[in-house]
Chains A and B, each alone.
Chain A
Amino acid sequence: MNPLIVACSANTPYGPGLRKCWEGLMAGRSGIRSVERFGEGQFISDYAALVPDIPMKTGNRLMELLGPVLENLPNSLPPEIPLFLATTTGQIDLLEQSVEKGSGQIESSSPLRLLGELRQLTGIRGPARVVSCACASSTAAVARAASEVQAGHAETALVVGCDAVSEFVYAGFSTLMAMSPQPARPFDRDRDGLTVGEAAAATFVMNPSQAGAGKYQPLAEVLGWGYTNDANHMTGPSRDGKGLKRAIEIALDMAACAPEDIAFVNAHGTGTVYNDAMEMKALRQVFGDNPKPAYSIKGGTGHTMGAAGLLEILLTAESLKEAIIPPTVGMDEPDEQAQGWVKTEPVSVPANRPALSVNSGFGGVNVAVVLQKTP
């Protein structure tokens, strides 16, 4: 019995709720905006995808992002379930404040502190873990939760993915020349970088026997997952795409799926020259030269880092439910390698076949997950 993704809650640059994000992407709207700069920094970009109605310097932005997500979770689950928190930098604005004031309270920014706060806020008393692997963190957290459920170590697990746009992250991506001076254009022939974004999302990964009573709405079945590492470069992906190809193959193998079974791909698609080229190479190696419908959400949501994978898994489930995928927002003219794969318009897809969601990140990490609509 495969684990299920059950119920979800999200807060994205389109506002609270996954549906707003879905509708914005389907309409081709972007949540990326020109933002007020942090301090006096001279950054490459003025753009970010921020969750609306949160002041830029709020003191603890991540908790502001998480508030509506936690409020909308079902509260009738047993408290002893495990909790998986995925994040790259956690409450990094607390570290910023500590450094600026010289207070030495840097531990307050540790993700373990955030984990403790989440346990208090959710009332969960089961085993709690921080899972992190750069921009594939929440994809890995879903895979870890699914492993625990499949192995019978838990009936249900809560997965939370979150990261906020901070001066720390903005300055870091800027100095690596990873940011586009314009809103990100994933898979576009003229793409020139990513746009940072922020989001928080949560879902339950559940044994089907727990969801079977109709109390909870199953969103998708998790058929398989695969993790690999390029072992090639600290910030750039392997040019040959073989690491991501291997992660996809491991996930397909676990899912007992052939490449031709896959209906569509929710790609990582950051908008950087190297990531998108690597990803197309990997997809072409797995699927051959017969293009699969594919899309990236990051021209709409920005690159939401530790939240990206979970958000994309939830949107993949939405695509399976609706039998349609959104356009790749921000893309005008696809790169030669991406032609036939990504579109500027929504594309109908078969709902009764599995789908693939993939993420990669700094350090060369790759995680792939295969999902299927629940019967």
Chain B
Amino acid sequence: MTKPDSSVPAMISAGWVRPRSGGHWTGDACDEAPVADVNELFTKEILNHTNVKNHGRFPDGTRAVCSACALALKGAGLWPGDQKRPNTGLLIAGYDHTLMQNCSFFQDYIDNDRIIARGQLFIYTLPTSAVAEAAILLKAEGPLLFEESGKAPFANLLNVGEGLINSGQAERMMLVWQNTETTLCGLLDGTSAGASGNSNQHLITIAQKWNNPVDGIDFFRDQTSGRNEKERTT
């Protein structure tokens, strides 16, 4: 696949999941609605639109990643939909849920006297497990990768996502940042329809200062009201 033109990828939408709400942003509009928990959101945003095999075994962190990605696509008008996305990839940063899954798997194995381990726990012990599940249900067939620096994770995801799009590896990248409570997904678009012609450098610079996904959610929410305009242009 060769990149069709020299347009610059742009962040066209974002979706997020908090303990009691889910929301999305699309440049000039922002919507966030309360939910009882991530299961309600997962049902509303995913199960109501598509069949998902074995979703009962999904850990909450995986449900949150799937829901945040679906919300980001929804914001861009790309979800619901049954089409394959051969040129859409997923990047994730955040290791908290993987640690919890690792612990669950091994604790369960110890509790069973080391006789038997459970495969349905083991398959969620990789840093890419949650985005792999999201890729399956959203039919995203582009690059799938965990990359974390420990410092400025979302800024790093933006850089990596831009690089993957600019080198022709993908047309769109979903950038997922997750901690124990919050999941944020930004949709980076390098197609002629989505590309802005402006660099994401201002967003990367701002994202350097974010300490957790909530900072990113606040930024996207504030974008709608223009509160970050000054910061955005400096």
Contacts and interface: CB of A to CB of B under 8 A. Distances in A.
A40 B115 contact: yes
Given A110-B95, A362-B123, A250 B1 contact: yes
A106 B117 contact: no
A134 B99 contact: no
Interface residues of B, number: 54
Interface in B106-139: 106-107, 109-110, 113-119, 122-123, 125-129, 131-133, 135-136, 138-139
A115 B136 contact: no
B145 A131 contact: yes
Contacts of B113: 40
A200 interface: no
Contacts of A42: 115-116
Contact of A363 (B110, B135, B150): B135
Contact of B149 (A88, A95, A128): A128
A130 interface: yes
A229 B132 contact: yes
Contacts of B169: 226-227, 250
A35 to B, nearest CB: 16
Contacts of A250: 1, 168-169
Interface stretch (A52-60, A66-74, A170-178, A331-339): A170-178
B126 A88 contact: yes
A115 to B, nearest CB: 7
B141 A229 contact: yes
Interface string A168-190: 10011011100000000000000
Contacts of A228: 141-143
A249 B168 CA distance: 12
A254 interface: yes
Contacts of A107: 99
B107 A174 contact: no
A148 B139 CA distance: 28
A201 interface: no
A140 interface: yes
Given A175-B117, A362-B126, A363-B128, A92 B141 contact: no
Contacts of A129: 147-149, 156
Interface in B71-112: 84, 86, 89-90, 95, 99, 102-103, 105-107, 109-110
A293 to B, nearest CB: 27
Contacts of B163: 147-148, 151
Interface residues of A, number: 61
Interface in B154-176: 156, 160, 163-164, 167-169
B144 interface: yes
Given A147-B167, A250-B1, A364-B144, A175 B118 contact: yes
B114 A106 contact: no
Given A229-B89, A234-B132, A365-B128, A131 B146 contact: yes
A127 B136 contact: no
A99 interface: yes
A265 to B, nearest CB: 21
A273 interface: no
Contacts of B115: 40-42
Given A172-B117, A227-B169, A363-B132, A134 B126 contact: yes
A234 B149 contact: no
B126 A231 contact: no
A38 B89 CA distance: 38
A168 B98 CA distance: 14
Given A132-B146, A172-B105, A229-B141, A89 B132 contact: no
7 contacts: A41-B114, A167-B114, A171-B114, A172-B119, A229-B90, A231-B139, A234-B136
7 closest pairs, A vs B, by CB? Answer: A363-B132, A227-B143, A172-B122, A171-B117, A229-B144, A132-B146, A39-B114
Given A89-B126, A363-B135, 10 more contacts: A42-B116, A127-B149, A129-B156, A131-B145, A144-B145, A151-B167, A172-B122, A235-B123, A364-B132, A365-B132
